[in-house]
Structure 1
């Protein structure tokens, strides 16, 4: 019997699992009112903006997957905004930059999360925008208990806010003081922004047209105007310690929309899996699973050294390919069919040895050799030194006191509609608050390289290769699972362990989440300052001493984390008999699943 911290939930009505209990309860309340999974998702996402502002915000990004009842396969949701017209390599180089900063105004792309939510609500939801936005307005206006992690994030950067980002100080330091964990915290400016949005669209009679009016209000109305007014005169300090102006303009926002697109598929044994395209890191999971087939991983002890070693080495190879070949397929030729082929996986599998690799080893694909060489060259220049103020995504990669990552939720309703989504960006650490709006901009442009000729080269209109990567899977008998986690470069690593334990070892959702987790830093980091930690392997102390010792003997450079410190997985499933199940991680003690 496997140890779990809490039961796997089961029921016949619906399930909501998210990274904050208030958001989960909000989503469930929408299901109780007759809404479907997509109505619940939009309400959940807006509340997560309020209660986890150190991890996501309305001017951030959202990557999702939806699986409407009756559809044969899921659909990907792209809420990843593109680089503005002024975001050119030459301009950033003229600013004295070699890397895109991890914070500040030049790190910003077009905000995508809001439009993605509107697209989901318009095409697949049933409720009015007011119904799904009201819970977030209530928490922003009347307050919510402040998470310790939020209080800690604000405290760690409070003096920087006071001296460099005064518009952020006005929101995050009410009365000039750092708010305390557990006290009631409100964001009245955000509440007023959403209230005005509803007011300006209230006269539109039709539900669909009101949603369209809200999209226009956000991207071509007062919100876009406030962003342009601020960026037209703001010159603020970023992660490099220098002050710079941004390049995002209202015209950039007016010309962009979120979109649906086909999900990409893969298989593992009898399972079918779906991920978003190579503009995310999603194909990493499918590549790693292809490599692991034929290694005997299915019979390895899922908490033993052979399991951890083999999974880690497969991940190193998949992430090396990510660095060489992934990017926006609208702007670059991505050899995805080769990368996801079983023949290619067999070639890559042969590189998995009995000891830890210390090399970055992308595959060499005919016609793309220069990209492999460039990835290897970049790995040799991985930056060193301490992060600057507010830098990067607050991932758990180095497990500093500023723990966090982003947010995630999975939902299934009584009709069988499913959604898995990872909202992110617009963190309180990433960029100054736009005065009057109560929300900061995102910093997703740091995914780009300031080097020509790459799938991830900075260019106007191009999507940054995001780390956001929700998942869906199905067995031949019709069991469907939606799952994901926050965590930057670690997202597909933790999801891979979760899935293998679920698929191969008979663990249920909660057992698969609670089992000890691990991840490697042996990859070109997506976030400023783009470090690569050769041979690194973080393991939770729940692994046995014998397992940890054996991994060290194999050459892994082991970092043992604090207990229960890696991953924030959540999951829901629909069984063939119509039973719904859900689970959420106990790590950080705030994610919860709710259902009946």
Structure 2
């Protein structure tokens, strides 16, 4: 079974399964289709975080988050007069990690050749995909930027001299040709592993690396209004390898919840669960005011610890302490009956908590929605895609690709994609654990999840949404573990999230006590939350999150899949 944020990716992945491929073949094919079907939400020049479990084995993390280039330093940014990394433009580009990670997954656990995997994406690139309303809105917003400053993006996405409208069919023959050239390189290998190595070499040190670096070396417009050259080099791409890593885990009510480690945001969900474990089940219903209040306050504390301690750039993260019962009990005791307006990281002996500069952005366009927000300057909060696949043998994968959005930086002529902007998540402050440092990974928000019972993986799930990803997944987990909802019921239930956290996206604004809820939570619950002091923003009935999930019952072998109705693009399929 397959579930994803876009029906074309679901269809491609399911086709692979029905033609004899396994879950990992299907997930990789689906991810390449997502590059074409949702280029405003992810791209080949971006990154990904995945969780994969071979049948009968424990999950591992597929780390496709590239590091900062060797010349990307705080000193360089400061010398340009910057106080933060711009949200759009080549200066914010980490080493592209998505494609190398997909090749590693295919090499180590897949069965298909690259040429067969990318047939679906090549077909859609040449023949086109329909533009949805959100994609059309983004293109309309960035049309002046593309026309005036990013002519290569204008030529690629607006060949008729205007932004495509919802329902139009859009092609990307440049990316189709790039995939064909990579497939041609793979034909020179003597065996499947060698063929995949040829593709990776062409990406890291062949025509892709050369053309990407050469193009970005010329100054171009960034989100802050300045013109700068990128610092990404061919050596940066050549030296990067996607890796398999051990996950972080917390056992909640007998279910092991599996995430990536604290070089990303995944442990935020684990910390929130650890805090909530000190409250009784009857108080943790996300559809009640009390449950929403407790979840929100737990996340405030967990996010404060994320800023204080998480990162890939300064020593070891004290994750064992952060997930310990004693520490979680101390944090749970801080939750009262009313909404806190404080920023409260915990105290860890031997560590100094980083305190970020907190500032609001009153009236920021689309603030707190978790969906792409793009101004003509190129400023974006960005967004993401997600795909989950499980096969009849019990292999399972959940992958969250993102970055390299078409609005990230100018499209590289001939390649059909642009570089990502993940470095905007770093701080230009040496004392920050997530500071910008050469060769270190920015702290990504990409955060898929797996659930394990009695040593067997039973579900893979995830969602787009930046800092909201873990916030939208935790209520799903509570509804599944405590409420006994079906996967589809848990996805469909009302969603909410707090904005009491400095955004991971430029310009890093926060909204203290902010709480965004779907109106289906109900007027009584919303009134009670306001009475508790939350600054509630009421969104539409189906406006928050795009969760998808697949599962397998080890005792029966029964498979499940569920996708999000929000936005009308997500789809689940199976046989």
Give TM-score, length-normalised by structure 2: 0.96
**CA shift at 1:301, angstroms?**
4.0
C-alpha contact 2:385 2:401 (8 A) present in aligned 1: yes
**Residues 538, 385 of structure 1: CA spacing in aligned structure 2 closer, same or farther, 3 A cutoff?**
closer
1:582 matched to 2:561 = yes
Deviations 1:14-59 (A, max 9, x none): x100000011000000000100000001100000000100000001
Deviations 1:535-589 (A, max 9, x none): 0000001011100000000000000012200000000110121000010110001
C-alpha contact 1:265 1:275 (8 A) present in aligned 2: yes
Q: Gapped runs of 5+ residues in structure 2?
A: none
Stretch deviating more after TM superposition (533-542 or 197-206): 197-206
Match of 1:444 in 2: 422
1:359 matched to 2:342 = yes
1:455 match: secondary structure: coil
2:212 to 209, 223, 227: 227
Deviations 1:184-240 (A, max 9, x none): 2100101111111111221222111010010000001000000121122x2111111
Match of 1:22 in 2: 8
1:378 matched to 2:357 = yes
C-alpha contact 2:382 2:466 (8 A) present in aligned 1: no
C-alpha contact 1:77 1:260 (8 A) present in aligned 2: yes
**Residues 425, 392 of structure 1: CA spacing in aligned structure 2 closer, same or farther, 3 A cutoff?**
farther
1:583 match: secondary structure: strand
1:93 matched to 2:78 = yes
Deviations 1:255-287 (A, max 9, x none): 111000111111101111110010110001111
**CA shift at 1:118, angstroms?**
0.2
Stretch deviating more after TM superposition (120-129 or 240-249): 240-249
**Residues 436, 477 of structure 1: CA spacing in aligned structure 2 closer, same or farther, 3 A cutoff?**
closer
For 1:478-489, what aligned pairs fall within 5 Å after superposition?
478=456, 480-489=458-467
CA distance in 1 between counterparts of 2:297 and 2:557 reads 38
C-alpha contact 1:55 1:394 (8 A) present in aligned 2: no
2:269 to 264, 274, 285: 285
CA distance in 1 between counterparts of 2:45 and 2:514 reads 33
**Residues 311, 452 of structure 1: CA spacing in aligned structure 2 closer, same or farther, 3 A cutoff?**
same
C-alpha contact 1:67 1:417 (8 A) present in aligned 2: yes
CA distance in 2 between counterparts of 1:397 and 1:424 reads 12
2:303 to 312, 315, 319: 319
Deviations 1:128-161 (A, max 9, x none): 0011111000000111112222111111111110
Match of 2:158 in 1: 173
1:58 to 22, 37, 44: 44
C-alpha contact 1:67 1:419 (8 A) present in aligned 2: yes
CA distance in 1 between counterparts of 2:388 and 2:36 reads 18
| C-alpha RMSD of matched pairs (Å) | 2.0
Q: Gapped runs of 5+ residues in structure 1?
A: 1-14
1:255 matched to 2:234 = no
**CA shift at 1:385, angstroms?**
7.3
CA distance in 1 between counterparts of 2:367 and 2:174 reads 25
1:527 to 505, 515, 529: 505
1:273 match: secondary structure: strand
**CA shift at 1:455, angstroms?**
1.4
The count of aligned residue pairs is: 571
CA distance in 1 between counterparts of 2:177 and 2:369 reads 27
Match of 2:371 in 1: 396
**Residues 27, 392 of structure 1: CA spacing in aligned structure 2 closer, same or farther, 3 A cutoff?**
farther
2:398 match: secondary structure: strand
CA distance in 1 between counterparts of 2:564 and 2:433 reads 34
For 1:130-149, what aligned pairs fall within 5 Å after superposition?
130-149=115-134
2:532 to 554, 569, 579: 554
CA distance in 2 between counterparts of 1:235 and 1:291 reads 47
Deviations 1:420-474 (A, max 9, x none): 1100000011111011100011000001101113211111100000000000012
CA distance in 2 between counterparts of 1:443 and 1:479 reads 33
Match of 1:474 in 2: 452
Match of 2:482 in 1: 504
Match of 2:17 in 1: 31
C-alpha contact 1:394 1:406 (8 A) present in aligned 2: no
1:413 matched to 2:398 = no
1:338 to 321, 342, 345: 321
Match of 1:118 in 2: 103
2:263 match: secondary structure: coil
Match of 2:229 in 1: 245
CA distance in 2 between counterparts of 1:397 and 1:155 reads 13
1:464 matched to 2:442 = yes
C-alpha contact 1:101 1:528 (8 A) present in aligned 2: yes
CA distance in 1 between counterparts of 2:568 and 2:430 reads 44
CA distance in 1 between counterparts of 2:287 and 2:369 reads 27
C-alpha contact 1:397 1:490 (8 A) present in aligned 2: no
Deviations 1:463-520 (A, max 9, x none): 0000000000122384611111010000000000110011001101000000000000
CA distance in 1 between counterparts of 2:369 and 2:44 reads 17
For 1:418-433, what aligned pairs fall within 5 Å after superposition?
418-433=396-411
**Residues 572, 228 of structure 1: CA spacing in aligned structure 2 closer, same or farther, 3 A cutoff?**
same
**Residues 317, 393 of structure 1: CA spacing in aligned structure 2 closer, same or farther, 3 A cutoff?**
closer
**CA shift at 1:297, angstroms?**
4.0
**Residues 481, 395 of structure 1: CA spacing in aligned structure 2 closer, same or farther, 3 A cutoff?**
same
CA distance in 1 between counterparts of 2:327 and 2:287 reads 28
**CA shift at 1:367, angstroms?**
1.4
C-alpha contact 1:17 1:591 (8 A) present in aligned 2: yes
**CA shift at 1:295, angstroms?**
1.1
2:522 to 536, 544, 547: 544
Give TM-score, length-normalised by structure 1: 0.93
